[in-house]
Amino acid sequence: MLAGGARKYTAAKRSECGTDMEVTDSELFLRAALVIDQAAQGLVDSRGREDWMTLLQALAQLSAAQAQDGDPAPLFAPEPLREKCAELDPRDKLYWLTEEDSSRKKFSKAWDALKEVVPRLEANFLQRSQKARVAARLELFDIQKDLDKRAKLYGFRAIPIELPEDIGPQQREVVIAEERRNSSNADIEYLEEMEVYPIPGVRRALRINLEGWRSIFMLTPLLLALVGGGFAIWLLIQFWMSQLPMRTIFQWTVLIAMVGGMVTWWVWPLYRLIDQKIVMAPAILQMTSRFYHVLVIRREGEKKVVRMLRFAATCPLCGGEVEVQEGRRTLRGRYVGACGRNPVEHVFSFDHVLRTGLRVVQ
C-alpha cells in the first residue's frame, strides 16, 4: 500500500520540532481518521471533487493506514500526499505528480483552502465522531521538517471530545428489541453537510449576514410586495368602478392577478424563512446539485446569518438515505425527512436545531 512505503514521522518527531502533544492511542486515531475519510467522501458526493477535498481524503486515508500499523501520530511530507491525491483524483493525476512548480503550487493552494474551510466543517466532524462513539476529533496540523523552513510535514492531531452518555449492553439490546417491535417509534439523527456553491462559477458558499442595516435586504422585498399589493387592489377598484367595457376590465383583472401571483410565488418563501427560520432552497439555487437543500437562519457567534445547508440521515427501517423535503398530505406546511427508498411510508419529522426526528404517519 502506498502509505506503507511512506516515511513515518511520529510523535517523537513532533517533540524534536518543539511541539508537545498529548499521546493518542493508535486505535483511537485510526477510528477518528476513518470518520474524516467518511466525511470527505460525503463532501465529494455532495459537491463534486475539489483539490482541498482530495487532499483531506488523502491525508485521512494515509493517517488511518499509519495508525493501523501502530503509529498514533503520523506526519507526512508533501510527496506521499501528492501521490495519494493522484490516486484519488485520476483526472488531475498529471498535475499532482509533475515535478514542476505547478504541482507544488497546486498542493500549497489545496492546503491553504483546506485550512480555510475546515473550521466550518468542525460541527460536522464532531457530530460524526459522537455518532460513531469516537472520543476524539482530528484537526489539521503542520510543522517544519528539521531545520528547513521551506519543507513542512502535514498531518492531524487528536483533540479529546466528550461523548453523550451511553446505555449498557443489556439495556441497549432491550431498546433495540423494543424498536423492532414498535417501528413507529424509530427515531433518526440528521447530519448537517457543508453548504454547496449555489452560484455557477462562484466558489463561495451562500452566507448572508442579517445583522444591523443588512437586514433591510430581507425586509425590502416584503415591503415592496405589500405596497404593490395595495396598489393593485386600488387599481382593480378603479377599473371596476369605471365606465370601461367589461372585456377591458376583465383583461386588466386577469393581468393584475397573474402579476400578483408571480410576486407572491417569489416573496412567500422569503416570508416563511423570516417567520419559521427555515425554508426549502429555491430551485434556481439547487440547479448545480442533485440533493435537496434548505435555507436556515441561525446564529454563528454574535452574527445572525442565512445558510444554505443539506441535512441527511440513514433510515432506521430500511437503511436508505433520508433527505429533508416539503411535507405532503397531512404534513403539508412542515419539513420532513423522506427516505429515498420509500418516501411515502418512511417519513420522519425534522428539527433543524436539534438535528433529530421521529417517525410520523401521513
Expressed in angstroms, the distance from the first to the final Cα of the chain is: 51
- Confidence band, pLDDT 50/70/90 cuts, at residue 17: very low
More confident residue, 66 or 121: 66
- Of 49, 118, 32, the closest CA to residue 87 belongs to 49
**What does the pLDDT look like over 174-209, one tens digit per residue?**
544 554 444 444 578 888 776 667 776 666 777 777
Res 1: pLDDT: 35
**What does the pLDDT look like over 132-144, one tens digit per residue?**
888 888 888 888 7
pLDDT at 261 over 80: yes
All residues at 6 or more sequence positions from 87 whose CB lies less than 8 Å from its CB, including other chains: 2, 58, 93
Q: Which span out of 141-155, 162-176, 282-296 was modeled with the highest average pLDDT?
A: 282-296
**What does the pLDDT look like over 317-330, one tens digit per residue?**
877 888 898 888 88
| Alpha-carbon span 159 to 306, nearest angstrom | 29
The per-residue pLDDT of the chain, averaged, comes to: 79
Estimate to the nearest angstrom the gap between the alpha carbon of 174 and the chain centroid: 34
- Confidence band, pLDDT 50/70/90 cuts, at residue 15: very low
| Residue 324 dihedral angles phi and psi, to the nearest 5° | -80, 130
pLDDT at 258 over 90: yes
What is the β-pairing status of strands 136-145 and 148-160? antiparallel
| Alpha-carbon span 205 to 211, nearest angstrom | 18
**DSSP per-residue codes, 14-68:** HHHTT-------HHHHHHHHHHHHHHHHHHHHHH---HHHHHHHHHHHHHHHHHH
| Sequence-separated contacts (24+) of 145-151 with Cβ below 8 Å | 145/77, 151/77
